[in-house]
Amino acid sequence: MKTIVIQSNKRPASDDALSRLLGLTKEMEDNENSTMWFGIENDSGDVYRVIGVESAEDYVKVLRQLSAAGFWVESLEAETSASLHAVVKAPGAVQSLPI
Protein backbone atom coordinates (compact mmCIF):
# COMPACT_ATOMS: atom_id res chain seq x y z
CA MET A 1 0.00 0.00 0.00
CA LYS A 2 1.18 3.51 -0.81
CA THR A 3 -0.17 6.78 0.54
CA ILE A 4 0.41 10.30 -0.70
CA VAL A 5 -0.90 13.36 1.15
CA ILE A 6 -1.69 16.44 -0.94
CA GLN A 7 -0.23 19.18 1.26
CA SER A 8 -2.28 22.00 -0.31
CA ASN A 9 -5.58 20.39 0.76
CA LYS A 10 -6.70 20.43 4.40
CA ARG A 11 -6.72 17.13 6.32
CA PRO A 12 -10.05 16.48 8.06
CA ALA A 13 -10.39 15.45 11.71
CA SER A 14 -11.17 11.90 10.52
CA ASP A 15 -7.67 11.46 9.02
CA ASP A 16 -6.17 10.14 12.27
CA ALA A 17 -8.91 7.49 12.53
CA LEU A 18 -8.40 6.59 8.86
CA SER A 19 -4.64 6.23 9.37
CA ARG A 20 -5.14 3.97 12.39
CA LEU A 21 -7.81 1.89 10.62
CA LEU A 22 -5.57 1.21 7.60
CA GLY A 23 -2.24 1.21 9.46
CA LEU A 24 -0.91 4.05 7.30
CA THR A 25 2.62 5.19 8.03
CA LYS A 26 5.10 7.50 6.31
CA GLU A 27 7.27 4.51 5.37
CA MET A 28 4.53 3.40 2.96
CA GLU A 29 5.35 6.24 0.58
CA ASP A 30 8.38 4.35 -0.80
CA ASN A 31 6.31 1.51 -2.34
CA GLU A 32 5.80 2.02 -6.09
CA ASN A 33 4.01 -1.25 -6.94
CA SER A 34 0.49 0.19 -6.64
CA THR A 35 -1.85 -0.51 -9.53
CA MET A 36 -5.22 0.62 -8.12
CA TRP A 37 -5.75 4.04 -6.56
CA PHE A 38 -8.44 5.73 -4.51
CA GLY A 39 -8.72 9.25 -3.17
CA ILE A 40 -9.86 10.33 0.28
CA GLU A 41 -11.91 13.53 0.39
CA ASN A 42 -11.91 16.16 3.12
CA ASP A 43 -14.99 18.00 4.38
CA SER A 44 -14.81 20.43 1.42
CA GLY A 45 -14.93 17.59 -1.12
CA ASP A 46 -11.24 17.98 -2.09
CA VAL A 47 -9.06 14.88 -2.35
CA TYR A 48 -6.37 15.36 0.31
CA ARG A 49 -4.92 11.83 0.36
CA VAL A 50 -4.40 9.23 -2.35
CA ILE A 51 -3.91 5.56 -1.46
CA GLY A 52 -2.63 2.91 -3.83
CA VAL A 53 -2.80 -0.85 -3.47
CA GLU A 54 -1.05 -3.60 -5.41
CA SER A 55 -3.96 -5.81 -6.43
CA ALA A 56 -7.70 -5.86 -7.02
CA GLU A 57 -8.01 -8.16 -3.99
CA ASP A 58 -6.26 -5.60 -1.73
CA TYR A 59 -8.37 -2.82 -3.27
CA VAL A 60 -11.65 -4.59 -2.44
CA LYS A 61 -10.40 -5.52 1.04
CA VAL A 62 -9.45 -1.93 1.93
CA LEU A 63 -12.67 -0.45 0.52
CA ARG A 64 -14.77 -2.98 2.44
CA GLN A 65 -12.83 -2.12 5.59
CA LEU A 66 -13.50 1.59 5.05
CA SER A 67 -17.17 0.99 4.25
CA ALA A 68 -17.61 -1.09 7.42
CA ALA A 69 -16.09 1.80 9.43
CA GLY A 70 -18.72 4.19 8.05
CA PHE A 71 -16.78 5.79 5.22
CA TRP A 72 -18.79 6.36 2.01
CA VAL A 73 -17.21 4.78 -1.07
CA GLU A 74 -17.94 5.97 -4.60
CA SER A 75 -16.53 3.64 -7.27
CA LEU A 76 -15.30 5.29 -10.46
CA GLU A 77 -14.50 3.97 -13.90
CA ALA A 78 -10.80 4.71 -14.42
CA GLU A 79 -10.17 6.06 -17.91
CA THR A 80 -6.39 5.85 -17.67
CA SER A 81 -3.95 3.99 -15.46
CA ALA A 82 -3.28 7.25 -13.57
CA SER A 83 -6.98 7.79 -12.69
CA LEU A 84 -8.57 7.12 -9.34
CA HIS A 85 -10.66 3.97 -9.17
CA ALA A 86 -12.76 5.24 -6.22
CA VAL A 87 -13.27 8.24 -3.95
CA VAL A 88 -13.82 7.75 -0.23
CA LYS A 89 -15.65 10.28 1.95
CA ALA A 90 -15.49 10.54 5.72
CA PRO A 91 -18.32 9.10 7.82
CA GLY A 92 -21.34 11.34 7.95
CA ALA A 93 -24.94 11.58 6.85
CA VAL A 94 -24.34 9.76 3.54
CA GLN A 95 -24.68 5.98 3.75
CA SER A 96 -22.04 3.58 2.39
CA LEU A 97 -22.68 1.72 -0.82
CA PRO A 98 -22.11 -2.05 -0.72
CA ILE A 99 -19.03 -3.19 -2.61
> Of the given ranges (11-15, 17-21, 52-56, 95-99), which has the lowest mean pLDDT?
95-99
Domain boundaries, the chain: 2-89
pLDDT at 9: 93
- CA-angle at 6, arms to 17 and 15, nearest 5°: 10
Q: Residues 38, 84: contact at Cβ < 8 Å?
A: yes
Q: Rounded CA gap, 51 and 2, in Å?
A: 6
pLDDT at 93: 42
* pLDDT tens sequence across 24-35: 876 555 456 667
Q: Has residue 95 got a pLDDT over 60?
A: no
In a 13 Å sphere around the CA of 42, the CA atoms on its Cβ side amount to: 15
Model pTM? 0.75
pLDDT at 10: 92
Q: Rounded CA gap, 73 and 52, in Å?
A: 15
In this structure, the number of other CB atoms found within 10 A of the CB of residue 91 comes to: 14
